[in-house]
Amino acid sequence: MFSLAGKWALVTGAGSGIGAAIAATMAQAGAHVVVADLQEAGGRTVVDALVGAGGSGEFARLDITDEAAAVALAGTVRARHGALDVLVNNAGIGHVGTLLTTSGADLDRVLGVNLRGTFNVTKAFLPAMLEAGRGSVINMASAAGLEGLQDRLAYATSKHAVVGLTRCLALDHARTGVRVNCICPGRVETPFVKSRLAEYPDPVAAYREMSSTQANGRMGRPDEIAALALYLAADESAFVTGAALAIDGGMTAGSGRLS
């Protein structure tokens, strides 16, 4: 297992789903994990679980759309530890709709969280990383950030932007010791997906349909995404920067099945 012993990691949107899995995996690898989330109850539950399993962590309430709040949290971390070692920009939201059914307000909301939120948090923590000459920034994009996705215009647009942001950051700081990569998952069986499935008239049929969009016929698990995040956080991935890594059961390998 890759080691993060002695490192500090901050994971946004860590109160549930993929973010919670990443927080638990990094704590198990030895990192002190700052579980950052807008929802305090979920975030504190995650901290209790990872500490109960022998890990180290704490909760920080963070609205990633609030630039001042991100700067304040970065200042607190810097005063206590110095430069953050690992930043995982996982928080994000979705939206269903085509151009004709997506309002300007819908687009602004999705971009405000998925793109501007990633921008805000990275900008707050990056200066200390650059000063220290080390660090790994991991952004959560999507398979929808690599190819088009029907009826998800705002979401796919935001995730394409996250991929672009990742690549530009990586190139701008390639010789500083700070690496920037992004993970592009396919459909993952998270609590959010399960709640959506429960809304369908036939949840079992809907589950099968969602699973079939992956070439290997199943949805991913949060712990599988977390394993990739751990690799990108660890020193063993020192030669990896500017990458947009698909982890999607073959969804983007040419099947053409993204809807």
Task: Tell me the CB-side half-sphere exposure of residue 70, using CA atoms within 13 A.
Answer: 23
Q: How far is CA 16 from the centre of its chain?
A: 12
Residue from 155, 200, 207, 231 carrying the catalytic annotation: 155
CA distance 57 to 236: 23
Give dist(CA 249, CA 95) in Å, integer. 22
Cα 207 to Cα 129, 186, 202, 247: the distances in Å are 42, 14, 9, 19
Q: For the CA atoms of the chain, what is the radius of gyration? A: 18
For residue 200, indicate whether it is catalytic.
no
Contacts of 90 (CB under 8 A, 6+ apart): 11, 12, 13, 14, 18, 19, 22, 140
Q: By the 8 A CB rule, do 10 and 88 touch?
A: yes
- Catalytic positions are 155
